[in-house]
Amino acid sequence: ILINFRLVDRESGQQITRKRRFEESERVSALFKFAQQETAAGSALFELRAGFPPKQLWQIHQQTLAQADLRNQSVHMKFSTS
């Protein structure tokens, strides 16, 4: 499954675009791990959203990417303010 990411670098605040292939059997939580590594998010709280209307992916983090129907989706990152 090819996923397009629109991430935000925590240090610079700049938008980062990435594409990465995942196995259909991987869990949605793998997207959070990837985003954290690519943006130096550390322990900062952030959301990942996909689809239209955008849905928060943490609510389905235990599902596989195939179950979550994330094929060819764009995933958007937003740091939480709380």
Mean pLDDT of the chain: 91
> Is residue 47 over pLDDT 80?
yes
41 confidence band (pLDDT: 50, 70, 90): confident
Give pLDDT, residue 81.
66
Residue type, 18: R
The structure's pTM equals 0.91
Higher pLDDT, 61 or 43: 61
> Is residue 22 over pLDDT 90?
yes
> Is residue 82 over pLDDT 60?
no
φ, ψ at 3 (rounded to 5°) = -120, 130
Which residues have a Cβ under 8 Å from the Cβ of 76 and sit 6 or more positions away? 6, 48, 49, 50, 54
- 3-state SS, residue 20: strand
The dihedral over CA atoms of 54, 5, 78, 13, expressed in degrees to the nearest 10, equals: -150
